[in-house]
Amino acid sequence: MGKREEIAVLFPGTLREFIESCSLDFESMREIRLRAGRPVLLMYGNREYGFTEKGEPVELEPDNQKGLFTLTEQQIRETAEIMGGFSLYAAQEELRQGFFTVRGGHRIGVAGRTVLNQREVGVLKSISSLNVRVAHEVKGCADQIMPLLCENGLFLNTVIVSPPGCGKTTLLRDIIRQLSNGCREKSTGRRLFGITVGVVDERSELGACFQGVPQNDLGMRTDILDGCPKSQGMMMLIRSMAPAVIAVDEIGGKEDIRAVEYIRSCGCGLAAAVHGVSLKEVEKRPGVGELFKEGTFKRLIFLDQAGGAGHICAVYDGAGRLL
């Protein structure tokens, strides 16, 4: 089943027909945003489109936002039920975090009325907004940097730093896959044999597990803890699966930092991602900044959107020297 077909089956009636006949290439589709009483919006590359009442995609400009196809509150609820496999109750644990994952690894963000339980979100009801984040694997996107991440056949602790939407999760995913399957250095032809990788996927963004089964390819030697808090998951994997490398997305909390320090003391490698813009900015942060200053990471990869998401703007070694 292609990406377009995977997405189309998530929608009812007219909107499904629009998506099935849409002239836009779904390999470049980023998001489909639905809001009750508002136009359906398609985030396509760096552009924004809507559907006309006849189902034709039209690029949005400040003066052409009338006459666009919209969904009612009832249609939003029906769409949410279909996306949740007619059992949103079963997805409530994920919904408490504001999303759930569907077949193909696509992630459905939700917003609406929340019901609190002891000041924490207990149930999400009366869904009024849906955001379909289309899953994209970019196999091979780490090819150019893999030779920099290994030395004498060993993986060097690596962190990817970028603002949101610059592709750090996509890059981390391919690094995991290549470490797990094994790869070859292009410059020397030296074979790097596959190693065991443990992934703590707290928000289901790396493996995109659906009913416990990863929809993304993270390699043949990878074990995944899906939906588990990063700090707990890192400790669990060390004790139970003996990974050579642990990979996590978006570390930052105090508990995450303590878990990283434990991993380092155990001699296990680490591949991680952090929100940030520059080396100086990240070094000033409590917790994460200390890891940088202590030399926890031997390779620091910085991304931006120059020329598109996933652009590698700089790679530093652990001493802050530009490679």
Q: What percent of the chain has pLDDT over 70?
A: 89
Beta carbons within 8 Å of 66's beta carbon, 6+ residues apart: none
Q: What is the pLDDT of residues 247-286, one digit of tens each?
A: 999 888 889 999 999 998 888 999 999 999 888 888 888 8
The number of CA neighbours under 13 Å toward the Cβ of 17 is 8
Q: What is the pLDDT of residues 277-289, one digit of tens each?
A: 888 888 888 888 8
Distance CA 178, CA 197 (A): 10
- Looking at residues 173-202, what average pLDDT do you find? 85
The per-residue pLDDT of the chain, averaged, comes to 86
Q: Are strands 154-155 and 150-151 parallel, antiparallel or unpaired?
A: antiparallel
CA gyration radius for the chain?
21
The pLDDT value given to residue 212: 77
H helix or E strand, kind and range, residue 159 = strand 158-162
Q: What is the pLDDT of residues 128-140, one digit of tens each?
A: 899 999 988 889 9
3-133 placed in CATH 2.40.128: no
Residues 233, 200 contacting (CB under 8 angstroms): yes
| Architecture category of domain 146-317 in CATH | 3-Layer(aba) Sandwich (3.40)
Distance CA 311, CA 307 (A): 7
Residues of the chain within CATH 3.30.450 domain(s) are: 3-133
Q: Residue 70: count other Cβ atoms within 10 Å of its Cβ.
A: 15
Beta carbons within 8 Å of 169's beta carbon, 6+ residues apart: 205, 206, 249, 273
Residues of the chain within CATH 3.40.50.300 domain(s) are: 146-317
Site of tokens 């909390």: 253
Q: And the tokens for 106?
A: 């696509």
